[in-house]
Amino acid sequence: MNESKPILNYHFFVLVFLLFTSCKEAKIEGQPVDPKTKGGIFTFHVGENKIQAEVAILPKERQMGLMFREKMDPGTGMLFIFERPSAQKFWMKNTRLPLDIGYFSPNGTLKEIHGAKPFDLGGVPSKSNNIQFVLELNLDDFRTQKIKIGDRLNLTEIKNAIIARGLDPADYQLNLLF
């Protein structure tokens, strides 16, 4: 019986080591490992422009957002998808990057762009009560990517991203459009 204790302790140590190094790595890198659990990265068109965006659909993903990220490449960001349109307010808790926050209507039209400062807990509210999609890019990236007010997100690409995540587009009112 005494021989099994060291083996059990060894396996416990290895398991704990793997868990902590895996969590730490995901937190530092901030890149999703599995599209069904971490958001995934998808290509979206906004008007004539193409961006790469991680998708935040589930409440925990939306809450975490771009917290703890050290950097983002130009033309990349995070697309937040909500079940129903409403007023939105985004804050910058634990967000180190200065961001542009673009608010989109249910038909995918860009209505507003607001700059947000790192760690600002005051929040950046939308002026509209009819926002269903929010795109965060690096500060001034809407301008440098030539994305402007009135440009539209490709809703078919959003629908496909939702399906790829194993979710139902009808839960996000996207079945009404197709």
How high is the mean pLDDT in each 10-residue block of the chain (178 residues)? 49 38 30 46 96 96 95 96 97 96 98 97 96 98 97 96 94 74
The pLDDT value given to residue 5: 52
Total domains in the chain come to 2
β-sheet bridge partners, residue 102? 113, 135
In this structure, the answer to whether residues 7 and 72 fall within a common structural domain is no
In this structure, the answer to whether residues 65 and 8 fall within a common structural domain is no
In this structure, the answer to whether residues 16 and 63 fall within a common structural domain is no
CA 113 to chain centre: 17
CB atoms within 10 A of CB 11: 10
The pLDDT value given to residue 16: 35
In this structure, the answer to whether residues 22 and 44 fall within a common structural domain is no
The pLDDT value given to residue 84: 96
In this structure, the answer to whether residues 43 and 83 fall within a common structural domain is yes
The pLDDT value given to residue 57: 95
In this structure, the answer to whether residues 130 and 165 fall within a common structural domain is yes
Cα separation, 105 vs 129, in Å, equals 9
At 121, give phi and psi (nearest 5°): -90, -5
**Which tokens is 119 given?**
């760690």
Q: Give the CATH number for residue 102.
A: 2.60.120.1140
Question: Containing domain of residue 11, as a range?
Answer: 1-30
The pLDDT value given to residue 174: 86
In this structure, the answer to whether residues 58 and 123 fall within a common structural domain is yes
- Record the pTM: 0.78
In this structure, the answer to whether residues 20 and 47 fall within a common structural domain is no
